Amino acid sequence: MPANPTVLTSKPEWQTLKEHRERLDGTPMTELFRQDPERAKRYYIEAAGLSLDFSKNRITDEVLEALLALASSCNLEARREALLQGERVNVTEDRPALHTALRNPGTDTIMVDGQDVVAEVQRTLARMETLVNGVLSGSRTGYTGKPFTDVVSIGIGGSYLGPKLVGEALQPYGQSGVPCHYVANIDGTEICETLRQVNPETTLFLIQSKSFRTQETLENSKVARRWFLEHCGDEQAISRHFMSVTANVPAARDFGIDPDNVFPMWDWVGGRYSLWSAIGLPIALTVGMANFRALLAGAHAMDQHFREAPLHQNLPVVMAMLGVWYNNFWGAETHAILPYDHYLRSLPDHLQQLDMESNGKSVTQDGKNLVWQSGPVIWGGVGANGQHAYHQLIHQGTRLIPADFIIPLQTHNPVATHHADLFANCLSQSRAMMAGKSLEEAKAELAAEGRSEAEIEQLAPHKVIPGNKPSNTLTMEKVTPETVGALIALYEHRTFVQGVIWDLDSFDQWGVELGKQLGKSILPRLLGQEAGDRASDSSTDHLIELFLSASG
Ligand code: F6P
């Protein structure tokens, strides 16, 4: 039977890429650099305040061309327009995914179900501004008339990771803001430790939940409410201290939140794409509304670039296709995110949810089993710390781990030669990943140390570093609201492009629901209420018995 050219792996572009992979197998990147002195300049893109050096990848011009041809053959340009124009790209939930409308400066009209969502976003931003200015100026106070000194944001997943990342990233911009504490987990320690640090008279609680149904968020919110009432004793005061961002206004009202204190979410915004909405209130309260708007502007600049730049100069597209290259043609199973900046330390956590909840799927948009790999494991951590932990495996382990190094050219905190030291560490890692160390080099090094022949033979193989490990280096002038906005939007679009290639619905997350459902049947048994369904396996039953015996 002839291959079906509409199926990804049967496309001629896919076959071409397989041939390129065979051909490139014996050519190290160092050789490609030797052949082309302009390589670093040619494999370089600047957009929206970010710069990408992608020269340390296993690519040639032909590979790049073939990768972009594959993207076009998957109708990337049309799918991109469908996303940006608000078509129902989330097919299983029959919704648009319009996070880009959240950072539209108000210049466009995007209609969803007869409503201009851009206008709705602008109205919500104005409401956020009133609240933020009131809190930061001290004109909006707690029940005893004192200004707010702390915000406690209660939310999980997308209602937590993005705001936390950005709140930390923009710490230098928070001088006149109110610090925010984040509570996510259904682990009593987190809420208890947080409440120990704050004063009920001067704390504003934000309940962040698109669905207002998430167990962790609701249970933590109940504890916070109880704690608040124990101290203040006046139900009326709840309306001054508790606010919510949700698409489920009736549930928020039933919880006791004054509808005037509810900020909207919309079903056309996915949780992991929601930091740009009122879910970003903790950010705005920490850094002020002007900086929040600058964050949106940075993301919008990336949206414009994604929409308009030709594919070969398109930052998200090029990064996405490099990911496809390693994921589907070189057997890479993971992708490392390595920010060399303390302010960006939570970027890997946010990108884990963004990427793995979006592209951790096994069927195509029309429900057929995938016969190609979908999204890789995303992991990572801040450099240089990781160099003293997991970089060993990147350098000498048996797996191929492509990495993104992310570093600002300037620091907010110049001290001694730290920033040059940090930068040198970052560059030395990407260089070591690519260049490695040959057996001959290892032997020569040992000989120079005066080692005996026997020692050299014994030790040299352990010192060999294979090299030829690919990486991207993303830089920005400084970590600012604009560059942070552009950086996160870049990864959102990278995720989208890969979802298009793999033919996934990148905007649903049905896998997460199973754990929630099973949790509902196990909890009653832990609470000694036999009404819960019996678990069907002896391991779960045994662990439940252990829990019950420990709790008497
Ligand atoms: O973890 C699953 C999930 O549904 C995420 O997609 C979402 O960001 C998170 O839970 C929180 O959901 P909600 O904002 O509705 O509380």
At 536 the pLDDT is 74
Cα 214 to averaged position of ligand 1 atoms, centre (Å): 7
- Residue 271 CA: nearest ligand 1 atom is 8
**Which residues does residue 116 pair with via DSSP β-bridges, in sequence order?**
111
Cα 260 from Cα 245, distance rounded (Å): 11
- Residue 274 CA: nearest ligand 1 atom is 8
At 193 the pLDDT is 98
List C-alpha distances in Å: 264 to 233, 257, 261, 268, 362. Answer: 29, 13, 10, 12, 32
Give the mutation target among 182, 214, 354 for probing the ligand 1 site: most ligand atoms within 8 A of CB. 214
Which amino acid type is present at position 205?
F
Which amino acid type is present at position 255?
F
3-state secondary structure 429-467: HHHHHHHCECHHHHHHHHHHCCCCHHHHHHHHHHHCECC
Q: What is the mean pLDDT of residues 150-156?
A: 98
Look at residues 266, 243, 221 and name the one whose alpha carbon lies nearest to residue 148.
Answer: 243
Reduce the DSSP state of residue 132 to 3 states and report it.
helix
At 315 the pLDDT is 98
Cα R_g (the chain), whole angstroms: 26
Q: Is residue 283 over pLDDT 90?
A: yes
> Is the backbone peptide bond immediately before 384 cis, with ω within 30 degrees of 0?
yes
Q: Is the CB of 512 under 6 A from ligand 1?
A: yes
Task: Report, as residue numbers or ranges, the catalytic residues.
Answer: 357, 388, 516
Q: Is residue 220 over pLDDT 80?
A: yes
How much helix, strand and coil, in percent to the nearest 5, is found in the chain? Answer: 55, 10, 35
pLDDT band at 534 (very low <50, low <70, confident <90, very high): low
Cα 147 from Cα 158, distance rounded (Å): 29
| Sequence-ordered list of residues with C-beta below 8 angstroms from that of 268, at least 6 positions apart, any chain | 86, 95, 96, 97, 98, 101, 112, 117
Strands (DSSP E) along 280-427, which ranges?
A: 334-339, 377-380, 403-408
Cα 123 from Cα 75, distance rounded (Å): 35
pLDDT tens string 400-426: 999 999 999 999 999 999 999 999 999
Residue-averaged pLDDT of the chain: 96
Q: Is the CB of 217 under 6 A from ligand 1?
A: yes
Note whether 476 and 408 are within 8 A (CB): yes
In this structure, what token pair is assigned to residue 110?
């995007």
Rounded percentage of the chain residues whose pLDDT exceeds 90: 93
Lowest mean pLDDT among 318-322, 423-427, 498-502, 547-551: 547-551
Topology of domain 8-74+309-435+469-508 in CATH is Rossmann fold (3.40.50)
Cα 399 to averaged position of ligand 1 atoms, centre (Å): 32
Angle at 547 (CA atoms; ends 542, 552), nearest 5 degrees: 125
Q: Produce one character per residue of 115-137: b if its CB has 16 or more CB atoms within 10 Å, e if not.
A: eebbeebeebbeebbebbeebbe
Note whether 229 and 195 are within 8 A (CB): no
Cα 141 from Cα 134, distance rounded (Å): 8
Q: In what order do the strands lie in the sheet containing 44-47?
A: 44-47, 50-53, 471-476, 403-408, 334-339, 377-380
Go through the chain and tell me how many residues it has. 552
In this structure, what token pair is assigned to residue 87?
């078509």
Q: Is the CB of 350 under 6 A from ligand 1?
A: no
Cα 495 from Cα 504, distance rounded (Å): 11
Residue with CA closest to ligand 1 atom 6 = 271
Q: Is the CB of 192 under 6 A from ligand 1?
A: no
Bridge pairing between strands 150-154 and 203-208: parallel
Cα 206 to averaged position of ligand 1 atoms, centre (Å): 16
Cα 94 to averaged position of ligand 1 atoms, centre (Å): 18
Cα 466 from Cα 345, distance rounded (Å): 29
pLDDT band at 239 (very low <50, low <70, confident <90, very high): very high
Q: Is residue 552 over pLDDT 80?
A: no
Q: Is the CB of 271 under 6 A from ligand 1?
A: yes
Reduce the DSSP state of residue 274 to 3 states and report it.
coil
Q: Is the CB of 211 under 6 A from ligand 1?
A: yes
Residue with CA closest to ligand 1 atom 1 = 157
pLDDT tens string 36-95: 999 999 999 999 999 999 999 999 999 999 999 999 999 999 999 999 999 999 999 999
Note whether 244 and 277 are within 8 A (CB): no
Rounded percentage of the chain residues whose pLDDT exceeds 70: 98
pLDDT tens string 335-371: 999 999 999 999 999 999 999 999 999 999 999 999 9
List C-alpha distances in Å: 513 to 297, 421, 516. Answer: 34, 45, 5
At 535 the pLDDT is 60
Strands (DSSP E) along 203-358, which ranges?
A: 203-208, 242-246, 262-264, 334-339
What 8-state DSSP symbol labels residue 95?
B
pLDDT: which is higher, 123 or 5: 123
Residue 205, phi then psi, degrees to nearest 5 = -100, 130
Give the mutation target among 211, 248, 514 for probing the ligand 1 site: most ligand atoms within 8 A of CB. 211
Quick one: which H or E segment has residue 229?
helix 215-232
pLDDT band at 15 (very low <50, low <70, confident <90, very high): very high
Domain 99-294 has CATH 3.40.50.10490: yes
Look at residues 303, 207, 305 and name the one whose alpha carbon lies nearest to residue 252.
Answer: 207
Using CA of residue 251, residue 255, residue 259, residue 265, what is the dihedral sign? Answer: negative
Q: Is the CB of 376 under 6 A from ligand 1?
A: no
pLDDT tens string 313-332: 999 999 999 999 999 999 99
Q: Is residue 151 over pLDDT 90?
A: yes
Look at residues 194, 227, 200, 228 and name the one whose alpha carbon lies nearest to residue 144.
Answer: 200
- Residue 357 CA: nearest ligand 1 atom is 6
Q: Is residue 1 over pLDDT 60?
A: no
Give the mutation target among 159, 215, 249 for probing the ligand 1 site: most ligand atoms within 8 A of CB. 159
pLDDT tens string 166-206: 999 999 999 889 999 999 999 999 999 999 999 999 999 99
At 5 the pLDDT is 65
Cα 136 to averaged position of ligand 1 atoms, centre (Å): 29
Bridge pairing between strands 50-53 and 44-47: antiparallel
Look at residues 212, 213, 269 and name the one whose alpha carbon lies nearest to residue 243.
Answer: 212
At 533 the pLDDT is 59
